[in-house]
Structure 1
Amino acid sequence: MVTVTLDAPIPGSTVETVAGRADADPRALTRAVDALHESLVDGSDAILQHYRTTDAPDSVTVADGLATVVYVDDDTWTRTLDTHGVPADVAPAVRAVHAAFATDETGRPGDESRREPMVLPSRDVAELVRAGLSTRQAEVQVLHDAGLDYATIADRLDVAESTVKVHRHRIQEKVANAKRLLDAVAD
Protein backbone atom coordinates (compact mmCIF):
# COMPACT_ATOMS: atom_id res chain seq x y z
CA MET A 1 0.00 0.00 0.00
CA VAL A 2 1.20 3.52 -0.82
CA THR A 3 1.46 5.85 2.15
CA VAL A 4 -0.06 9.23 1.36
CA THR A 5 0.20 12.53 3.18
CA LEU A 6 -2.33 15.26 2.59
CA ASP A 7 -2.22 18.98 3.06
CA ALA A 8 -5.98 18.88 3.75
CA PRO A 9 -7.01 17.99 7.31
CA ILE A 10 -8.28 14.62 6.09
CA PRO A 11 -5.97 11.79 7.27
CA GLY A 12 -3.96 9.96 4.65
CA SER A 13 -5.31 6.68 6.04
CA THR A 14 -8.83 7.75 5.02
CA VAL A 15 -7.65 8.39 1.46
CA GLU A 16 -5.79 5.08 1.38
CA THR A 17 -8.86 3.16 2.56
CA VAL A 18 -11.16 4.84 0.04
CA ALA A 19 -8.61 4.43 -2.77
CA GLY A 20 -8.46 0.71 -2.05
CA ARG A 21 -12.25 0.34 -2.03
CA ALA A 22 -12.70 2.49 -5.15
CA ASP A 23 -9.76 0.95 -7.01
CA ALA A 24 -8.34 4.46 -7.41
CA ASP A 25 -4.71 5.54 -7.58
CA PRO A 26 -3.96 6.80 -4.05
CA ARG A 27 -1.56 9.49 -5.32
CA ALA A 28 -4.07 10.84 -7.86
CA LEU A 29 -6.79 10.78 -5.20
CA THR A 30 -4.52 12.59 -2.74
CA ARG A 31 -3.72 15.29 -5.30
CA ALA A 32 -7.42 15.73 -6.10
CA VAL A 33 -8.49 15.93 -2.43
CA ASP A 34 -5.70 18.41 -1.64
CA ALA A 35 -6.37 20.59 -4.70
CA LEU A 36 -10.10 20.72 -3.99
CA HIS A 37 -9.56 21.58 -0.32
CA GLU A 38 -7.08 24.32 -1.23
CA SER A 39 -9.40 25.83 -3.83
CA LEU A 40 -12.39 25.73 -1.47
CA VAL A 41 -10.76 28.21 0.93
CA ASP A 42 -12.22 31.12 -1.03
CA GLY A 43 -15.66 29.60 -1.66
CA SER A 44 -16.32 27.97 1.67
CA ASP A 45 -18.13 30.95 3.21
CA ALA A 46 -20.60 31.10 0.32
CA ILE A 47 -21.32 27.39 0.53
CA LEU A 48 -21.79 27.58 4.30
CA GLN A 49 -24.04 30.62 4.01
CA HIS A 50 -26.19 28.97 1.35
CA TYR A 51 -26.71 25.80 3.35
CA ARG A 52 -27.38 27.71 6.55
CA THR A 53 -30.56 29.01 4.88
CA THR A 54 -31.81 25.58 3.75
CA ASP A 55 -33.24 22.58 5.51
CA ALA A 56 -29.84 20.84 5.45
CA PRO A 57 -28.34 19.60 8.71
CA ASP A 58 -26.22 22.15 10.55
CA SER A 59 -22.57 22.32 9.58
CA VAL A 60 -20.09 20.93 12.08
CA THR A 61 -16.56 22.20 12.75
CA VAL A 62 -14.17 19.25 13.12
CA ALA A 63 -10.51 18.23 13.05
CA ASP A 64 -9.40 20.51 15.88
CA GLY A 65 -11.06 23.49 14.16
CA LEU A 66 -9.38 22.99 10.78
CA ALA A 67 -12.42 21.91 8.79
CA THR A 68 -16.16 22.28 8.63
CA VAL A 69 -18.47 19.55 7.38
CA VAL A 70 -21.48 20.86 5.51
CA TYR A 71 -24.19 18.65 4.03
CA VAL A 72 -24.84 19.54 0.39
CA ASP A 73 -27.01 18.28 -2.43
CA ASP A 74 -25.81 16.37 -5.47
CA ASP A 75 -25.93 19.45 -7.71
CA THR A 76 -23.59 21.37 -5.41
CA TRP A 77 -21.14 18.46 -5.34
CA THR A 78 -21.24 18.11 -9.13
CA ARG A 79 -20.76 21.87 -9.72
CA THR A 80 -17.97 22.02 -7.15
CA LEU A 81 -16.08 19.12 -8.68
CA ASP A 82 -16.50 20.56 -12.19
CA THR A 83 -15.64 24.13 -11.19
CA HIS A 84 -12.48 23.09 -9.40
CA GLY A 85 -11.29 20.76 -12.15
CA VAL A 86 -11.44 17.47 -10.27
CA PRO A 87 -10.76 14.73 -12.83
CA ALA A 88 -13.83 12.63 -13.58
CA ASP A 89 -11.98 9.37 -12.90
CA VAL A 90 -11.38 10.31 -9.24
CA ALA A 91 -14.46 12.48 -8.57
CA PRO A 92 -16.55 9.67 -7.02
CA ALA A 93 -13.61 8.69 -4.81
CA VAL A 94 -13.14 12.32 -3.70
CA ARG A 95 -16.77 12.38 -2.59
CA ALA A 96 -16.23 9.06 -0.81
CA VAL A 97 -13.19 10.47 1.02
CA HIS A 98 -15.28 13.41 2.25
CA ALA A 99 -18.05 11.05 3.36
CA ALA A 100 -15.64 8.73 5.18
CA PHE A 101 -13.95 11.65 6.96
CA ALA A 102 -17.30 13.18 7.95
CA THR A 103 -18.52 9.86 9.30
CA ASP A 104 -15.33 9.42 11.34
CA GLU A 105 -15.48 12.98 12.70
CA THR A 106 -19.22 13.46 13.23
CA GLY A 107 -20.75 10.00 13.19
CA ARG A 108 -23.10 11.20 10.42
CA PRO A 109 -22.46 10.00 6.86
CA GLY A 110 -25.28 12.11 5.41
CA ASP A 111 -28.96 12.54 6.06
CA GLU A 112 -32.31 11.34 4.90
CA SER A 113 -32.87 14.37 2.64
CA ARG A 114 -30.16 13.05 0.29
CA ARG A 115 -27.46 15.44 1.42
CA GLU A 116 -23.83 14.38 1.33
CA PRO A 117 -20.99 15.70 3.47
CA MET A 118 -18.48 18.09 1.96
CA VAL A 119 -15.39 18.99 3.97
CA LEU A 120 -14.47 22.66 3.76
CA PRO A 121 -11.70 24.65 5.38
CA SER A 122 -13.07 26.10 8.62
CA ARG A 123 -14.03 29.76 8.83
CA ASP A 124 -10.97 30.41 10.99
CA VAL A 125 -8.64 28.87 8.41
CA ALA A 126 -10.35 30.72 5.54
CA GLU A 127 -10.17 34.04 7.39
CA LEU A 128 -6.45 33.66 8.08
CA VAL A 129 -5.80 32.75 4.43
CA ARG A 130 -7.68 35.85 3.29
CA ALA A 131 -5.54 37.85 5.73
CA GLY A 132 -2.37 36.67 4.00
CA LEU A 133 -1.32 33.32 5.47
CA SER A 134 -0.89 30.20 3.39
CA THR A 135 -3.42 27.46 4.08
CA ARG A 136 -0.83 25.44 6.01
CA GLN A 137 0.23 28.51 8.04
CA ALA A 138 -3.44 29.15 8.82
CA GLU A 139 -3.86 25.56 10.02
CA VAL A 140 -0.78 25.87 12.22
CA GLN A 141 -2.13 29.13 13.66
CA VAL A 142 -5.59 27.67 14.38
CA LEU A 143 -4.03 24.72 16.21
CA HIS A 144 -1.62 27.05 18.05
CA ASP A 145 -4.55 29.26 19.09
CA ALA A 146 -6.28 26.14 20.40
CA GLY A 147 -3.35 25.70 22.79
CA LEU A 148 -1.58 22.79 21.13
CA ASP A 149 2.19 22.59 21.44
CA TYR A 150 4.54 22.25 18.46
CA ALA A 151 4.86 18.47 18.78
CA THR A 152 1.09 17.97 18.86
CA ILE A 153 0.57 20.33 15.91
CA ALA A 154 3.26 18.47 13.96
CA ASP A 155 1.59 15.15 14.70
CA ARG A 156 -1.87 16.46 13.79
CA LEU A 157 -0.65 17.89 10.47
CA ASP A 158 1.71 14.97 9.77
CA VAL A 159 4.75 17.23 9.40
CA ALA A 160 8.04 17.58 11.26
CA GLU A 161 8.10 19.67 14.41
CA SER A 162 10.77 21.85 12.78
CA THR A 163 8.29 22.59 9.97
CA VAL A 164 5.75 23.81 12.52
CA LYS A 165 8.42 26.06 14.06
CA VAL A 166 9.24 27.49 10.62
CA HIS A 167 5.56 28.17 9.95
CA ARG A 168 5.16 29.90 13.34
CA HIS A 169 8.25 32.03 12.64
CA ARG A 170 6.90 33.06 9.22
CA ILE A 171 3.50 33.84 10.70
CA GLN A 172 5.13 36.08 13.28
CA GLU A 173 7.12 37.82 10.52
CA LYS A 174 3.93 38.44 8.53
CA VAL A 175 2.20 39.87 11.60
CA ALA A 176 5.18 42.15 12.33
CA ASN A 177 5.23 43.33 8.70
CA ALA A 178 1.50 44.01 8.80
CA LYS A 179 1.92 46.06 11.98
CA ARG A 180 4.74 48.06 10.37
CA LEU A 181 2.52 48.71 7.34
CA LEU A 182 -0.34 49.88 9.54
CA ASP A 183 2.00 52.18 11.44
CA ALA A 184 3.40 53.61 8.17
CA VAL A 185 -0.05 54.18 6.70
CA ALA A 186 -1.37 55.75 9.92
CA ASP A 187 1.37 58.40 9.86
Structure 2
Amino acid sequence: MTEEWTSATRAAVAALTSATDDDVVSAAVARARGEITTGVTGRPGAGKSTLVCALSGRVSGTLREIHGVDAPDVPDPPLDVDVLLHVVARGITDADRAVLAARRSAPTLVVAGRLDLGTDEPDTVRADDVEAIVGWWTDACGTARRRRDLLLCAELETVAAERPHTRAAVEAFLRDPAIIAVRGAS
Protein backbone atom coordinates (compact mmCIF):
# COMPACT_ATOMS: atom_id res chain seq x y z
CA MET A 1 0.00 0.00 0.00
CA THR A 2 1.48 3.31 -1.00
CA GLU A 3 1.55 6.29 1.33
CA GLU A 4 -0.27 8.32 -1.35
CA TRP A 5 -3.08 5.76 -1.45
CA THR A 6 -3.28 5.67 2.36
CA SER A 7 -3.39 9.47 2.54
CA ALA A 8 -6.16 9.65 -0.06
CA THR A 9 -8.21 7.06 1.83
CA ARG A 10 -7.62 8.92 5.09
CA ALA A 11 -8.79 12.16 3.43
CA ALA A 12 -11.97 10.47 2.15
CA VAL A 13 -12.74 9.18 5.64
CA ALA A 14 -12.14 12.65 7.11
CA ALA A 15 -14.50 14.18 4.54
CA LEU A 16 -17.17 11.62 5.45
CA THR A 17 -16.91 12.22 9.18
CA SER A 18 -17.05 15.98 8.71
CA ALA A 19 -20.12 15.67 6.45
CA THR A 20 -22.23 13.78 8.98
CA ASP A 21 -22.57 13.58 12.74
CA ASP A 22 -24.24 10.17 12.63
CA ASP A 23 -23.08 8.05 15.59
CA VAL A 24 -23.44 4.84 13.57
CA VAL A 25 -21.10 6.19 10.88
CA SER A 26 -18.64 7.41 13.52
CA ALA A 27 -18.59 4.00 15.21
CA ALA A 28 -18.04 2.19 11.89
CA VAL A 29 -15.18 4.54 11.00
CA ALA A 30 -13.61 4.13 14.46
CA ARG A 31 -13.65 0.33 14.12
CA ALA A 32 -12.23 0.41 10.60
CA ARG A 33 -9.53 3.00 11.16
CA GLY A 34 -8.36 1.79 14.56
CA GLU A 35 -4.93 0.42 15.29
CA ILE A 36 -3.91 -2.78 13.48
CA THR A 37 -3.44 -5.56 16.02
CA THR A 38 -0.88 -8.35 15.79
CA GLY A 39 -1.03 -11.61 17.69
CA VAL A 40 1.61 -14.26 18.28
CA THR A 41 0.22 -17.76 18.85
CA GLY A 42 1.66 -21.23 19.10
CA ARG A 43 1.66 -24.27 21.29
CA PRO A 44 3.26 -24.05 24.74
CA GLY A 45 7.05 -23.93 24.44
CA ALA A 46 7.08 -23.12 20.71
CA GLY A 47 8.89 -19.81 21.19
CA LYS A 48 6.08 -17.23 21.28
CA SER A 49 7.64 -15.13 24.05
CA THR A 50 11.02 -15.12 22.34
CA LEU A 51 9.46 -13.90 19.11
CA VAL A 52 7.45 -11.19 20.89
CA CYS A 53 10.66 -9.96 22.54
CA ALA A 54 12.50 -9.97 19.20
CA LEU A 55 9.73 -7.94 17.55
CA SER A 56 9.12 -5.45 20.36
CA GLY A 57 10.12 -2.03 19.15
CA ARG A 58 10.34 -3.31 15.56
CA VAL A 59 6.59 -3.36 14.83
CA SER A 60 4.02 -0.72 15.66
CA GLY A 61 0.60 -1.10 17.17
CA THR A 62 -0.56 -3.72 19.58
CA LEU A 63 1.59 -6.88 19.69
CA ARG A 64 0.18 -9.49 22.01
CA GLU A 65 1.07 -13.04 22.86
CA ILE A 66 -1.98 -15.31 22.66
CA HIS A 67 -1.91 -18.43 24.83
CA GLY A 68 -4.12 -21.48 24.67
CA VAL A 69 -3.26 -23.26 21.42
CA ASP A 70 -3.28 -26.96 22.25
CA ALA A 71 -2.84 -26.19 25.96
CA PRO A 72 -4.38 -28.66 28.42
CA ASP A 73 -7.59 -27.48 30.10
CA VAL A 74 -7.49 -24.12 28.27
CA PRO A 75 -10.17 -23.23 25.73
CA ASP A 76 -9.09 -22.36 22.19
CA PRO A 77 -8.05 -18.72 22.13
CA PRO A 78 -9.93 -16.08 20.16
CA LEU A 79 -7.92 -15.16 17.10
CA ASP A 80 -9.46 -11.70 16.77
CA VAL A 81 -6.33 -9.92 15.60
CA ASP A 82 -5.68 -8.38 12.20
CA VAL A 83 -2.30 -10.05 11.65
CA LEU A 84 -1.16 -13.34 13.16
CA LEU A 85 2.28 -14.86 13.59
CA HIS A 86 1.87 -18.54 14.42
CA VAL A 87 4.97 -20.14 15.96
CA VAL A 88 5.64 -23.85 15.51
CA ALA A 89 8.32 -26.12 16.95
CA ARG A 90 9.60 -29.24 15.16
CA GLY A 91 6.61 -29.44 12.84
CA ILE A 92 3.01 -28.49 12.25
CA THR A 93 0.52 -30.43 14.39
CA ASP A 94 -3.24 -30.83 14.08
CA ALA A 95 -3.66 -28.01 16.61
CA ASP A 96 -1.50 -25.76 14.42
CA ARG A 97 -3.53 -26.73 11.35
CA ALA A 98 -6.73 -25.80 13.19
CA VAL A 99 -5.36 -22.32 13.92
CA LEU A 100 -4.26 -21.87 10.32
CA ALA A 101 -7.62 -23.07 8.98
CA ALA A 102 -9.44 -20.61 11.24
CA ARG A 103 -7.37 -17.80 9.70
CA ARG A 104 -7.80 -18.97 6.11
CA SER A 105 -8.09 -15.56 4.44
CA ALA A 106 -6.52 -13.32 7.08
CA PRO A 107 -2.80 -12.45 7.08
CA THR A 108 -1.00 -15.27 8.91
CA LEU A 109 2.68 -16.23 8.88
CA VAL A 110 4.04 -19.53 10.16
CA VAL A 111 7.30 -19.02 12.06
CA ALA A 112 9.68 -21.82 13.00
CA GLY A 113 10.31 -20.94 16.63
CA ARG A 114 12.42 -23.48 18.50
CA LEU A 115 15.33 -23.66 16.09
CA ASP A 116 17.25 -25.84 18.55
CA LEU A 117 14.66 -28.57 17.97
CA GLY A 118 14.92 -28.35 14.20
CA THR A 119 12.11 -28.19 11.70
CA ASP A 120 11.77 -29.35 8.15
CA GLU A 121 8.49 -27.57 7.51
CA PRO A 122 8.29 -25.78 4.17
CA ASP A 123 6.69 -22.34 3.97
CA THR A 124 7.94 -21.25 7.38
CA VAL A 125 10.17 -18.35 8.27
CA ARG A 126 12.87 -18.89 10.87
CA ALA A 127 12.28 -16.94 14.08
CA ASP A 128 15.82 -15.58 13.92
CA ASP A 129 15.12 -13.96 10.52
CA VAL A 130 13.58 -10.88 12.14
CA GLU A 131 14.07 -8.74 9.02
CA ALA A 132 11.99 -11.16 6.92
CA ILE A 133 9.29 -11.30 9.60
CA VAL A 134 9.13 -7.51 9.90
CA GLY A 135 8.98 -7.19 6.09
CA TRP A 136 6.13 -9.69 5.92
CA TRP A 137 4.41 -7.96 8.85
CA THR A 138 4.57 -4.59 7.06
CA ASP A 139 2.88 -6.05 3.97
CA ALA A 140 0.36 -7.92 6.11
CA CYS A 141 -0.65 -4.71 7.88
CA GLY A 142 -1.37 -3.16 4.49
CA THR A 143 -3.54 -6.15 3.61
CA ALA A 144 -5.32 -5.90 6.96
CA ARG A 145 -5.95 -2.18 6.43
CA ARG A 146 -7.45 -2.87 2.97
CA ARG A 147 -9.68 -5.57 4.48
CA ARG A 148 -10.89 -3.12 7.11
CA ASP A 149 -11.54 -0.46 4.46
CA LEU A 150 -13.59 -2.96 2.43
CA LEU A 151 -15.58 -3.91 5.53
CA LEU A 152 -16.17 -0.21 6.21
CA CYS A 153 -17.54 0.28 2.69
CA ALA A 154 -19.88 -2.68 3.08
CA GLU A 155 -21.05 -1.49 6.50
CA LEU A 156 -21.62 2.03 5.20
CA GLU A 157 -23.70 0.72 2.30
CA THR A 158 -26.03 -0.84 4.87
CA VAL A 159 -26.06 2.38 6.90
CA ALA A 160 -26.97 4.42 3.81
CA ALA A 161 -29.83 2.07 3.01
CA GLU A 162 -31.21 2.25 6.55
CA ARG A 163 -30.55 5.90 7.44
CA PRO A 164 -31.78 8.38 4.81
CA HIS A 165 -30.32 11.39 6.63
CA THR A 166 -26.82 9.92 6.20
CA ARG A 167 -27.25 8.57 2.68
CA ALA A 168 -25.85 11.56 0.75
CA ALA A 169 -22.64 11.72 2.82
CA VAL A 170 -22.08 7.97 2.53
CA GLU A 171 -22.76 7.95 -1.20
CA ALA A 172 -20.26 10.81 -1.68
CA PHE A 173 -17.72 8.79 0.30
CA LEU A 174 -18.31 5.69 -1.81
CA ARG A 175 -17.87 7.75 -5.01
CA ASP A 176 -14.53 9.20 -3.85
CA PRO A 177 -11.76 8.04 -6.24
CA ALA A 178 -9.65 6.71 -3.36
CA ILE A 179 -12.53 4.58 -2.11
CA ILE A 180 -13.33 3.37 -5.63
CA ALA A 181 -9.68 2.31 -5.86
CA VAL A 182 -9.92 0.47 -2.52
CA ARG A 183 -12.98 -1.40 -3.68
CA GLY A 184 -11.49 -2.15 -7.08
CA ALA A 185 -8.29 -3.53 -5.58
CA SER A 186 -10.09 -6.34 -3.78
TM score, norm. by length of structure 2? 0.27
Q: Of the two, which has the highest radius of gyration?
A: 2
Higher helix proportion: 1
TM score, norm. by length of structure 1? 0.27
Q: Bigger relative contact order, structure 1 or 2, given CA contacts below 8 A and separation 6+?
A: 2
Higher strand proportion: 2
